Structure 1
Amino acid sequence: MTTLKCYCGSLKEFSQCCEAYIKGIEKAPTAEALMRSRYSAFATQKADYLVATTHFSTRKQHKKEDILEWSQSNKWIKLAVVAATAYTVTFKAFYLDSELQAQIHHEHSTFKLEDGSWFYVDGEFY
């Protein structure tokens, strides 16, 4: 039996990594863990999780329909974390767009910890 490695690149099984966060079984313990789980949510089209883990102050800027369309129209290849601090993560998400052209989404993201839960606030794109 083959096991599915996590989309986030951790080399752990998906069921032992980001899936627990996406399903709400566990909370992501760090900003980086949340960012990795959000990448996995894009790869598995879990738009509800992406909306729920977006900070309320910026949530209105991220429509569920748009998130779902972007996650479905791309084939997510891999994630590379470039740098991380307690509240920020810089990463590159590699994917094929709807025309199968290779793309890189390079972002410096900011996160907030509130009541024991991490939330994505916003990002600066390169």
Structure 2
Amino acid sequence: MSGNRILVIDDEDDIREVAQMSLEAMGGWQVLTAHCGAAGLVTAAAERPDVILLDVMMPDMDGPTTFQRLRTDPATADIPVVFLTAKVRSADRQFLTDLGGDAVLSKPFDPVSLSDEIIAALDWPPR
């Protein structure tokens, strides 16, 4: 797993910090972060991470809008995206899956298992 890069896009400072510490310590990820969808788009295009962990509910540009913009940019169109959401209803999860997200994980997440959950959800490493 060492060397894989993940971009965490979330408007909450504490979520970004906990996710970063967890992914680095438990999974050996190299973690990039962005505080909003717009910053995430710029970082994703410039850095080309292996995976993006994307919050659903953010001000200005929400996760689904950010996701759609990622998919329309040739530089980011093929990067797997894992949605992170506090919405747990199956209809909400189905919407994100139908949108084209590669996986959906719940908030709050367990910092100890976050890396393993991402790997399992994506059937990582890619073949």
TM-score, normalised via structure 2 length:
0.35
More strand by share: 1
More helix by share: 2
**Which is higher, the Rg of structure 1 or of structure 2?**
1
TM-score, normalised via structure 1 length:
0.35
